[in-house]
A and B are shown apart, each in its own frame.
Chain A
Amino acid sequence: MKILKIVFKNAFRHKLRSLLTATGIAIAIIAFGLLRTVIDAYYIGIEASSDTRLITSNAVSLTFFLPISCKNKIEQIEGVSKVCQSFWFGGTYIDQKNFFAQFAVEAESFVELYPEFVLQEDQKKNFLQERNSCIVGRKLANKYGWEEGDTFRIVGTIWPGDWDFVIRGIYDGRDKATDESSMYFHWSYIDERMEQTSPGRAGRAGWFYVGLNSRDDIVRVSEEIDAMFKNSMAETKTETEKEFQQSFISMVGTVINAVRIISIVVIAIILLVLANTMIMTARERIGEYAVLKTLGFKPSHISSLIFGESLTIALFGGLLGLGLTLIIVKRFGAFLENNMGGFFPIFEISNTTLSLAILAALAVGLIAAIFPTITAVKMKISDGLRQIG
């Protein structure tokens, strides 16, 4: 118990220095926590995706379309419950800064395939009835202050022209991870105008959402679909929604890896700062350690003093950082979810990140103490007593 008291007294003997070191650690822990949370937020889309839905797209790449005639053929396959065509609209709302995901879908099958987008019955009915109506996620609606019945215009980039939409429903996500920042509207709204203006571009689907009766059919159905269109005008690639999302993430794999590496570099930086503090501290106290040794304290006592002090500062900084991280993630997270929901649907700190941050702080505390301990333990009493300041 006595030794604990000395450890604490020692740790805060140089208040400014300990405080600065702890602040350095706290900042590093915040950076570490935030970086990991950003990566986690990126992966949320995968967790939210269902594994009883398949996505069939053109085998060449997602930028190629499939003829709508594929739909009937896919529906014939045993085990398929519903097929919904969709494509990425990619239009501009006011200007390019206002980016959000816009999907054209076949409304009727879509609302059935996606029960996680919760709409009230009358909203659903209105959406299905009106050709130019759309549904938008709650977060997207909040961002632009949209309400049911509001109209807005989107200028097409892939699909030329001005497109007016009326909001007939604002959906909430059933689960926390469900995306609430997208807009869905009638595939036929675009297709019909295309038929009139540029018939070559009508009757196209970017991909098909394929609903299954049973999870056991995943492999069989996806193989059957791809086999059916093998050597046809449009070969397909069918994968689960999870795999589909994963391929998007792997596209920015390098950026994610870079962020991972950087989150480790930050730990190295705090290690240097704390190690420096501990070395300076031990150097100043060489005389004291010599006195303790003379009084009969063993090397193990001295090392526990140094390790204890190092760990105390590291933990203090670590906990301070963690507390601040929680606050920042909460504030910043709410801001991100509301303003950049398309990229970060959920911004929350995970338990893994919390434990890793504490572990990192402890590890740093231990490693930083190694060098000064060796010096202090090896030192001869006579040398230690001789040393000044």
Chain B
Amino acid sequence: MKIPITYNLRNLMTRKLTTFLTVLGVGLVVFVFAAVLMLAEGFRKTLVSSGDPDNVIILRKGANAELNSGVSRTQANIIKALSEAAVGDDGKPMVTGETFTVNNLPKRIDNQPSNVVVRGVSPESLILRDRVKIVEGRIWRPGTSEIITGKSIAGKFIGCGLGETIKMGGREWTVVGVFDAAGSSFQSEIWGDAEQFMDAFRRSSVFSSVTMKLDDPSVFPALKEKLESDPRLTVDVKREIEFYEEQSKGLGLFIKILGITITVIFSFGAMAGAVITMYSSVASRSAEIGTLRAIGFRRKNILASFLIECLLISLFGGIIGLFFASFLQFINISTTNWATFSEVVFGFDINGGIVLGSMLFSLTMGLIGGFAPAIRASRMQVVDALRAS
């Protein structure tokens, strides 16, 4: 017969302060654990959501990022003529050559400069990426020094708000619109006419990348083969999603490794707390344990009961930690992505995997912490235990 869980709950209630402190310790560790995973996930999601499963990005061979890639106008025209591209409502192929430059702009908060991606695009870019929507103002007019800015940076950098102007490449640019990109990394970019940027940044007719929407995504392998073996082109062809996944790898992995190492170290502290609490609980309840044994509960029942008690502590700790960690979703942070050398704004993102992982982590701490005390409790001799005051 099992010892009822209410027995454990009431025990925990009797020592409110001790229980509370132990739960809080576990909760703090779970909080950090979840926060780190949420951060890495938020970063990954921001970048990956920039990719579209139907889109293909073409870069210069060997260049792993748009920053050091270059595709000439001649090469871009060869790609534009391909029949694999989807055709838009206006009858034009959905292919766009884009320029990618990084500009040092001062932040509003402290006037400190930071790098921002300035992407030269064409009207097709907005059709290709249907999640990009103008939320304020209007789209730029081709052939003018008009730009639109991503929602995440419009308020963050000097001159990036609607109606303001920025000086870049020796010219004044007027912000005529602010766009939303569904939380993707485009939302941390400045967009304008590619031809104008080529001129201002003296890129001499070289795009950084060419992006194409496929009419039928299943032709990707054949297209890749065809383009990469074309002697007129020296390019790498990637699915946009995979490309952005790669871009998130470096920093994402760094956050994860650093964070998990730290939390594992922290967890030893929380486990020590659990062990102490449980040992003291066992010691002060000797008489109770003796009584339980005397009225017929078996050793394994006692073992299970104490383990359950510790698991309850870690369960509460896990819930508290996750509860507070979930509020982090309202916070946005920004940092430099190594792959693009420029700032990207992202948030903490929670998902089922993180919730499950954090709870498992928490329960593991409880199980390890409660094991030795539970063994001691179950091994007590009835007579000795009863004699203890």
- Chain A contact residues, CB within 8 Å of chain B: 16-17, 20-21, 23-24, 27-28, 30-31, 35, 59-64, 90, 96, 155-158, 160, 200, 231, 233, 235, 237, 247, 250-255, 258-259, 262, 265-266, 268-270, 272-273, 275-277, 279-280, 284, 371, 388-389
Q: Known contacts A250-B112, A269-B269, A276-B273; decide if A60 and B341 are in contact (CB<8 Å).
A: no
Which residues does chain A contribute within 8 Å of B276, judged by CB atoms? 17, 20-21, 273, 276-277, 280
B229: interface (CB < 8 Å): no
Q: What per-residue 1/0 map shows which CB atoms of B22-33 lie under 8 Å from chain A?
A: 101100110010
Assess the A262–B336 pair: CB atoms within 8 A: no
Q: Write the nearest CB–CB distance from B243 to chain A, whole angstroms.
A: 15
Assess the B266–A24 pair: CB atoms within 8 A: no
Q: Known contacts A30-B265, A60-B169, A61-B102; decide if A247 and B32 are in contact (CB<8 Å).
A: no
Interface centre among A21, A24, A160, A269 (most CB of B within 10 A): A269
Besides A160-B62, A262-B32, A280-B277, 19 other A-B contacts (C-beta < 8 A): A20-B276, A21-B272, A27-B269, A31-B265, A31-B266, A60-B168, A63-B67, A63-B341, A64-B101, A90-B68, A96-B64, A157-B62, A200-B204, A250-B112, A266-B266, A273-B272, A277-B276, A280-B276, A284-B280
Which residues does chain B contribute within 8 Å of A251, judged by CB atoms? 114-115, 335-336, 343
Assess the A269–B104 pair: CB atoms within 8 A: no
B220: interface (CB < 8 Å): no
A31 to B32, CA, bound (A): 14
Assess the B112–A265 pair: CB atoms within 8 A: no
Assess the B270–A269 pair: CB atoms within 8 A: yes
From 53 to 109 in chain B, residues with beta carbon under 8 angstroms from any chain A beta carbon are 60-64, 67-68, 101-104
Residue of A nearest to B110 (CB): A250
- Top 8 closest pairs, chain A to chain B, by CB: A24-B272, A251-B336, A273-B273, A276-B21, A254-B335, A61-B104, A272-B25, A158-B68
Our pick among B28, B62, B389 for the contact of A268 (Cβ within 8 Å) is B28
Q: Write the nearest CB–CB distance from A238 to chain B, whole angstroms.
A: 13
Assess the A280–B272 pair: CB atoms within 8 A: no
Assess the A64–B201 pair: CB atoms within 8 A: yes
Chain A residues touching B, majority SS:
helix
Assess the B268–A27 pair: CB atoms within 8 A: yes
Interchain residue pairs with CB less than 8 A apart (18): A17-B279, A23-B272, A24-B268, A59-B104, A60-B101, A60-B103, A62-B115, A155-B62, A156-B62, A233-B202, A250-B112, A272-B22, A272-B28, A273-B270, A280-B276, A280-B280, A284-B280, A388-B389
Assess the A160–B273 pair: CB atoms within 8 A: no
B145: interface (CB < 8 Å): no
B18: interface (CB < 8 Å): yes
Our pick among A60, A62, A233, A269 for the contact of B25 (Cβ within 8 Å) is A269
A144 to B142, CA, bound (A): 52
Assess the B389–A389 pair: CB atoms within 8 A: yes
Which residues does chain A contribute within 8 Å of B275, judged by CB atoms? 20
From 246 to 270 in chain B, residues with beta carbon under 8 angstroms from any chain A beta carbon are 254-255, 258, 262, 265-266, 268-270
Our pick among A24, A64, A254, A258 for the contact of B269 (Cβ within 8 Å) is A24
A211 to B17, CA, bound (A): 64
Q: What per-residue 1/0 map shows which CB atoms of B126-169 lie under 8 Å from chain A?
A: 00000000000000000000000000000000000000000011
Count of chain A to chain B residue pairs whose CB atoms are closer than 8 Å in the complex = 140
Residue of B nearest to A247 (CB): B113
Assess the B269–A28 pair: CB atoms within 8 A: yes
Which residues does chain B contribute within 8 Å of A60, judged by CB atoms? 101, 103-104, 168-169, 201
B381: interface (CB < 8 Å): no
A284 to B63, CA, bound (A): 68
Assess the B262–A262 pair: CB atoms within 8 A: yes
B170: interface (CB < 8 Å): yes
A247 to B107, CA, bound (A): 13
Which residues does chain A contribute within 8 Å of B284, judged by CB atoms? 284, 389
Which residues does chain B contribute within 8 Å of A156, judged by CB atoms? 62
A269 to B39, CA, bound (A): 21
Assess the A254–B272 pair: CB atoms within 8 A: no
Which residues does chain B contribute within 8 Å of A28, judged by CB atoms? 266, 269
Which residues does chain A contribute within 8 Å of B277, judged by CB atoms? 276, 280
Assess the B335–A255 pair: CB atoms within 8 A: yes
Assess the A279–B17 pair: CB atoms within 8 A: yes
Q: Write the nearest CB–CB distance from A23 to chain B, whole angstroms.
A: 6
Q: Known contacts A20-B276, A277-B276; decide if A31 and B202 are in contact (CB<8 Å).
A: no
Assess the A31–B262 pair: CB atoms within 8 A: yes
A344 to B207, CA, bound (A): 36
A383 to B266, CA, bound (A): 39
B9: interface (CB < 8 Å): no
Which residues does chain B contribute within 8 Å of A96, judged by CB atoms? 64
Which residues does chain A contribute within 8 Å of B17, judged by CB atoms? 279, 371
A326 to B194, CA, bound (A): 55
Assess the B101–A63 pair: CB atoms within 8 A: yes
A388 to B388, CA, bound (A): 11
Which residues does chain A contribute within 8 Å of B24, judged by CB atoms? 272
Assess the B272–A20 pair: CB atoms within 8 A: yes
Q: Write the nearest CB–CB distance from A354 to chain B, whole angstroms.
A: 19
Assess the A252–B266 pair: CB atoms within 8 A: no
Q: Write the nearest CB–CB distance from B342 to chain A, whole angstroms.
A: 8
